Structure 1
Amino acid sequence: MDFSGLTEALASQSYGNVADICDNLMLRVASQGEAYEDEWPYAIHLLGHIYVNDINSARFLWKSIPVTVKESRPEVVAAWKIGQNLWTKDYAGVHQAIREYNWSPEVQGIVTSFSELYTKRMFDLLVSAYSTISIQDAALFLGMNEGDAAKYVVERGWIVDTTSQMLTVKKQELAVEQKLDPSNLQRLTEYVFHLEH
């Protein structure tokens, strides 16, 4: 079985392409009637779907994995544990599932990259959802201890009140630049004139 495309994607850290590469390869191999279960990189395939936040596809893949594979490859189960926590929106559980398994070198890169991406997603979620939040709650969302979480958000402009143990969220400023194009204004004027007459 030719995994060169997958190997290249992993080597170049093109983790957003991993799920599609695995899906296409699996379909091609299955259409040729080849058995692939024993050597298939299920953990990487699951993590590929998780990386692009396609939890439905990860769930369907998990259900299709033979029981013998689930029983014999703990890394596959560990990858699915991340997916389960995403499915149930257990934000702290996602970070815990990432940390509690000793990932193989083949999988470590995508897991590390996903962890960083997920932390950024959670930070963006906090920015959009809160104006103040406790350090403890922010730490749960970000998968960090309270000290690291406070440092992380302060570096991004948030304010810490050490007395109340609360964080004041710094909202992202949206830079909206509007340019007046005279030709668009002329067309709009003509259009309004046409409607009125």
Structure 2
Amino acid sequence: MDFSAVTAVLASKSYDKVADVCDNLMLQVAADGVAYQDEWPYAIHLLAHIYVHDINSARFLWKSIPSSIKETQPEVPAVWKIGQKLWLRDNAGVHQAIRAFDCSPQLQPLLAAFSELYTKEMFQLLLSAYSTISISDAALFLGMNEDDATNYVLQQGWTVDPASQMLIVKKQPVVTEQKLDPSKLQRLTEYVFHLEH
């Protein structure tokens, strides 16, 4: 079985494309009638869907994986544990499942990229949802211990209120850029000209 396309996209660190490459390859192999189940990189395929937050496709893939694979390839259920936590919106559980995952060197870069992406997404969620938050809650969302979480948010410009030991969120300024479409400007000019004459 030729998985060079999957290997190439992993090597290029185009992690957002891995799920599509795996899906297309799986369809091609199925159409050719080739038996592939024992060789298929299920853990990579499953994690790739999780990486792009396609939890429905990850669930479908999980259900289609033979139980013998789930029993003999421990990475597959370990990846699915992350998917389950995402499905349940258990933010701290996602980080715990990632930390508990002892994955192969082949899967490590994709897992690390997902972990970093998820931490950034959780930071953006905190940024948009809170004006103040406890250090312990921020640590749970970011999947870090309290010292690391505090250092992480301080680097982003947040501050710590010494009296309450609460993190004060530094909102990012909203930048709105208006782009002027020349055709709209022309129509507006013609409309105003028409009204005046």
Question: Could you say whether these structures have the same fold, taking a TM-score greater than 0.5 normalized by the shorter chain as the test?
Answer: yes
The question of 1:162 aligning with 2:162 is answered yes
Residues of 2 paired with 1:166 and 1:85: CA distance? 27
The equivalent of 2:176 in structure 1 is 176
The secondary structure found in structure 1 opposite 2:157 is: coil
The equivalent of 1:153 in structure 2 is 153
Identity %: 72
Gaps of 5+ in 1: none
After superposition, the Cα gap between the structure-2 partners of 1:178 and 1:101, relative to the gap in structure 1 and judged at 3 Å, is: closer
The secondary structure found in structure 2 opposite 1:30 is: helix
Residues of 2 paired with 1:182 and 1:62: CA distance? 51
Residues of 2 paired with 1:180 and 1:66: CA distance? 55
After superposition, the Cα gap between the structure-2 partners of 1:77 and 1:183, relative to the gap in structure 1 and judged at 3 Å, is: closer
The equivalent of 2:83 in structure 1 is 83
The equivalent of 1:68 in structure 2 is 68
The equivalent of 1:113 in structure 2 is 113
1:191 alignment partner AA: Y
Deviation at 1:180, TM superposition (A): 6.2
Residues of 2 paired with 1:108 and 1:183: CA distance? 50
Deviation at 1:5, TM superposition (A): 0.7
Deviation at 1:179, TM superposition (A): 6.1
The equivalent of 1:191 in structure 2 is 191
The secondary structure found in structure 1 opposite 2:153 is: helix
Gaps of 5+ in 2: none
The equivalent of 1:8 in structure 2 is 8
Deviation at 1:174, TM superposition (A): 2.0
TM-score (norm 2): 0.93
RMSD of equivalent CA atoms:
1.9
Cα-to-partner distance string for 1:86-121 (whole Å, 9 max, x where unaligned): 000000000000001211001000000000000000
Deviation at 1:183, TM superposition (A): 7.1
The equivalent of 2:29 in structure 1 is 29
After superposition, the Cα gap between the structure-2 partners of 1:136 and 1:190, relative to the gap in structure 1 and judged at 3 Å, is: same
Cα-to-partner distance string for 1:104-159 (whole Å, 9 max, x where unaligned): 00100000000000000000011111111111111000000011001000100111
1:56 alignment partner AA: N
Q: Which runs of 4+ in 1 moved over 3 A?
A: 177-186, 192-197
The secondary structure found in structure 2 opposite 1:106 is: coil
TM-score (norm 1): 0.93
Cα-to-partner distance string for 1:44-79 (whole Å, 9 max, x where unaligned): 000100111111100100000001111111100000
After superposition, the Cα gap between the structure-2 partners of 1:136 and 1:25, relative to the gap in structure 1 and judged at 3 Å, is: same
Residues of 2 paired with 1:67 and 1:7: CA distance? 25
